[in-house]
């Protein structure tokens, strides 16, 4: 990032009576871009338009087509439209209120912000369980999709016969991961530059697919098309389709706060992300669903070759493969930041490139089983959603209601027990219990592993009650476990601006 405070380049700038050495200057610059330092207003990279393009680039990656195709497994086109709108609009807004808005206000990435809600230990626990599972899964999935798309192109152009689960798909996936790593090593500017090319290109692919679909089928046929593999109960199918799309919306949570810190205002973080992740996603998913219903296969790397012939298919797949790299780079950037914050002193001095590589190792290992995440896509997305929706409910209750959008920045960075965000030995029990209660509510209403559901699930879904339970319980438990008298969490001082406790 070039937007470093100009004072660091001015020769008169001094620390401790000594001129800053170039290496020290570089260390401070790196800490702003790749580390934990808050980003100042004049260093923010993304205004409304830039962040809109970033989110459009994220939204119309292959996963949107994949989600659209997976939705078609359960419902037809009419109910699919409703499920996508409900799941994405409601889920994305809740998710954004728990991520970008907070990070943008303070210029701090979300895993540092979360110390004020879960405590230092709580953040580490969440990151190394829920977030690692979710993000490694998505990274591996993107790599596998890149691999399958590239294999399909090779099969058409060079007449090869690469199987979707062959070792060559793994090799392509590893190439995708390596290129994404190289992009991330250069920082957020390179991701922005890539997105400015990829996002408009993918928009053209979507327009091309829409034209193709309406020349091949009619609106009446599309509305009458049967879902690909539904359950017997239509109400359950619709509820699962909504829940699946809610899960997709919540699955943005781990990366959005880290991107939001680079936006120029909360307004420039909330609405562009909503436009990209909800509105544009819905359009891309609808195209994916319509294609799957028309062509009878839910995997976009298969139906894209059928749609429009070899030339269009090859171009579309190449663009989508390219887009997967930018999506993966965004995931890796955010999670590398998170890894540094959540790991305490373990990776505090590790070089940024090395840290990014460490994050990618598990994804590279999963890439050796390219069919794994494809086959368990519904389970993966909804299981992630169980945890992320509950965390969102807790975060929103804490930040908007209890803290009234005010956080003590000094306390976020104060070491261990010297911080008022240390809570009980590094864990905010109120937040942990309320989040776990939210997860429990989710699993009681809908168990993704067994597919067992409670009767209420058909009307309420599982994510929405999970958000509500964790939200309400956190409001109730906080005064009990972190009373004003105890001073834990600094809840008694919602409007103070003083530095952290010394």
Partner 1 sequence: MNGQQQEAALSQELKRRIDVIQSDEAGDESHRALTSTELWTAWIIVFVTLAIGLVVSL
Of 182-190, 400-408, 425-433, 486-494, the segment contacting partner 1 by CB under 8 A is: 400-408
Three-state secondary structure readout of 167-220: HHHHHHHHHHHHHHHHHHHHCHHHHHHHHHHHHHHHHHHHHHHHHHHHHHCCHH
Which one of 68, 69, 76, 107 is in contact with partner 1 (CB under 8 A)? 107
Query: Contact with partner 1 (CB under 8 A): which of 1, 3, 28, 444?
Result: 28
In whole angstroms, the minimum distance from the beta carbon of 378 to partner 1 comes to: 19
CA distance 265 to 221: 45
CB-nearer residue toward partner 1: 265 or 343 = 265
Single out the segment in contact with partner 1 by CB under 8 A; choices: 154-162, 356-364, 380-388, 455-463.
Answer: 455-463
Instruction: Name every residue whose Cβ is closer than 8 Å to that of residue 464 and which is 6 or more positions away in sequence.
Output: 90, 246, 389
What's the number of CA atoms in the CB half-sphere (13 Å) around residue 72? 29
> Which of these, 310, 298, 279, 290, lies nearest to 215 by C-alpha position?
290
Residue 16 binds partner 1 (CB under 8 A): yes
- Does the protein bind partner 1 through residue 458 (CB under 8 A)? yes
Which residues, other chains included, contact 452 with Cβ-Cβ below 8 Å and sequence gap of 6+? Answer: 446
31 binds partner 1 (CB under 8 A): yes
How crowded is the C-beta side of 110, counted as CA atoms within 13 Å? Answer: 28
Strand-pairing partners, residue 263, are 46
Residues 198-217 that bind partner 1 (CB under 8 A): none
Contact 270, 112 (CB under 8 A): no
CB 96 within 8 A of CB 275: no
Which window, 201-209, 303-311, 406-414, 421-429, contacts partner 1 (CB under 8 A)? Answer: 406-414
Per CB under 8 A, which of residues 65..84 are in contact with partner 1?
79, 82
Upper half-sphere CA count for residue 275 (Cβ side, 13 Å): 15
Span of 100-108, 155-163, 320-328, 330-338 interacting with partner 1 by CB under 8 A: 100-108
Q: Tell me the site size for partner 1, rule CB under 8 A.
A: 49
Shortest approach of partner 1 to residue 294 CB, angstroms?
23
The span of 33-41, 128-136, 282-290, 435-443 binding partner 1 (CB under 8 A) equals 33-41
| Helix/strand/coil percent split, the chain, to 5 | 75, 0, 25
**CB-nearer residue toward partner 1: 107 or 122:** 107
The one among 48, 133, 312, 413 contacting partner 1 by CB under 8 A = 413
Going by the DSSP 8-state scheme, the letter that residue 107 receives in this structure is T
CA distances from 392 to 263, 319, 395, 429, 439 (A): 21, 33, 5, 16, 11
Report the residue number, 6 or 459, with the smaller CB distance to partner 1. 459
In angstroms, what CA-CA distances link 193 with 188, 271, 272, 427? Answer: 9, 21, 17, 39
* Smallest gap from residue 131 Cβ to partner 1 (A): 24
Task: Report the residue number, 19 or 449, with the smaller CB distance to partner 1.
Answer: 19
Helix (H) or strand (E) run with residue 407 in it: none
Q: Which of 2, 12, 18, 345 binds partner 1 (CB under 8 A)?
A: 18
The residue within the footprint of partner 1, chosen from 101, 140, 320, 397 (CB under 8 A), is 101
**Residue from 90, 176, 392, 402 in contact with partner 1 (CB under 8 A):** 90
| Interface positions, 268-327, toward partner 1 (CB under 8 A) | 270
| Cβ contact 441:462 at 8 Å | yes
* CB 312, min distance to partner 1, A: 34
Note whether 197 binds partner 1 by CB under 8 A.
no
Q: Is 409 in the site for partner 1 (CB under 8 A)?
A: yes
Question: Would you tell me how many other CB atoms lie within 10 Å of the CB of residue 347?
Answer: 16
Q: What is the DSSP letter of 500?
A: P
Which window, 87-95, 147-155, 206-214, 312-320, contacts partner 1 (CB under 8 A)?
87-95
Minimum gap (Å) between residue 22 Cβ and partner 1? 9
For 159: left if phi > 0, alpha if psi spans -120 to 50, otherwise beta; the answer is left
- Does 400 bind partner 1 (CB under 8 A)? Our answer is yes
Min. distance of Cβ 146 from partner 1 in angstroms? 33
**φ/ψ of residue 232, rounded to 5:** -70, -30
Least CB distance to partner 1 at residue 324 (A): 29
* Residue 86 in contact with partner 1, rule: CB under 8 A: yes
In DSSP terms, 19 is beta-bridged to 14
- Distance between CA 105 and CA 406 in Å, rounded? 9
- Cross-strand bridge partners of residue 453: 446
Q: How far is the CB of 230 from partner 1 (least distance, A)?
A: 15
Q: For partner 1, which stretch binds (CB under 8 A), given 19-27, 167-175, 197-205, 325-333? A: 19-27
Q: Can residue 24 be called a binding residue for partner 1 (CB under 8 A)?
A: yes
Interface positions, 214-273, toward partner 1 (CB under 8 A): 235, 238-239, 242, 265-267, 270
Closest separation in Å from C-beta 82 to partner 1 = 5
How far lies 404's CA from each of 108, 267, 296, 467, in Å? 17, 17, 50, 19
Residues contributing to the site for partner 1 (CB under 8 A): 15-16, 18, 20-21, 23-24, 27-28, 31, 37-38, 40-41, 79, 82, 85-86, 89-90, 93-94, 96-97, 101, 104-107, 235, 238-239, 242, 265-267, 270, 400, 405-406, 409-410, 413, 458-459, 461, 464, 497, 499
């Amino acid at each position: 990032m070039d937007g470093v405070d100009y004072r660091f380049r001015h020769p008169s700038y001094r620390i401790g009576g000594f001129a800053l050495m170039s290496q020290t200057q570089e260390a401070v610059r790196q800490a702003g871009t790749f580390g934990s330092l808050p980003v100042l207003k004049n260093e923010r990279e993304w205004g409304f338009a830039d962040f809109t393009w970033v989110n459009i680039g994220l939204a119309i990656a292959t996963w949107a087509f994949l989600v659209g195709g997976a939705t078609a497994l359960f419902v037809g086109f009419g109910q699919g439209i409703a499920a996508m709108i409900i799941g994405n609009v409601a889920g994305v807004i809740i998710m954004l209120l728990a991520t970008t808005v907070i990070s943008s206000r303070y210029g701090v990435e979300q895993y540092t912000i979360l110390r004020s809600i879960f405590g230092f230990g709580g953040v580490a626990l969440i990151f190394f369980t829920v977030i690692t599972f979710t993000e490694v899964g998505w990274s591996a999935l993107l790599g596998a999709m890149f691999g399958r798309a590239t294999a399909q192109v090779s099969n058409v152009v060079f007449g090869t016969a690469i199987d979707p689960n062959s070792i060559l798909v793994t090799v392509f996936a590893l190439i995708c991961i390596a290129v994404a790593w190289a992009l991330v090593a250069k920082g957020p500017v390179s991701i922005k530059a890539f997105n400015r090319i990829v996002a408009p290109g993918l928009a053209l692919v979507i327009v091309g697919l829409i034209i193709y679909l309406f020349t091949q089928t009619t609106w009446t046929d599309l509305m009458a098309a049967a879902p690909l593999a539904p359950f017997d109960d239509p109400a359950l199918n619709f509820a699962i389709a909504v829940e699946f799309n809610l899960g997709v919306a919540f699955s943005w949570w781990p990366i959005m706060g880290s991107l939001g810190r680079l936006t120029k205002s909360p307004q420039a973080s909330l609405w562009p992300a909503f436009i990209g992740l909800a509105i544009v996603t819905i359009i891309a998913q609808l195209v994916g669903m319509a294609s799957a219903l028309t062509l009878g296969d839910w995997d976009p790397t298969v139906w894209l070759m059928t749609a429009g012939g070899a030339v269009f298919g090859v171009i579309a797949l190449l663009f989508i493969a390219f887009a997967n790299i930018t999506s993966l780079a965004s995931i890796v950037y955010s999670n590398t930041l998170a890894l540094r914050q959540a790991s305490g002193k373990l990776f505090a001095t590790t070089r940024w490139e090395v840290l990014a590589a460490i994050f990618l190792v598990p994804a590279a290992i999963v890439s050796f089983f390219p069919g794994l995440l494809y086959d368990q896509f519904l389970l993966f997305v909804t299981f992630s959603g169980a945890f992320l929706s509950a965390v969102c409910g807790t975060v929103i209750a804490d930040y908007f209601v209890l803290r009234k959008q005010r956080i003590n920045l000094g306390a976020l960075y104060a070491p261990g027990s010297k911080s008022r965000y240390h809570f009980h030995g590094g864990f905010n029990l109120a937040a942990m219990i309320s989040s776990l209660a939210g997860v429990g509510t989710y699993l009681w209403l809908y168990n993704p592993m067994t597919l067992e559901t409670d009767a209420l699930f058909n009307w309420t879904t599982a994510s929405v009650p999970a958000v509500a339970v964790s939200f309400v319980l956190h409001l109730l438990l906080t005064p009990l476990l972190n009373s004003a008298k105890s001073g834990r969490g600094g809840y008694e001082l919602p409007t103070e601006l003083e530095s952290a406790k010394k």
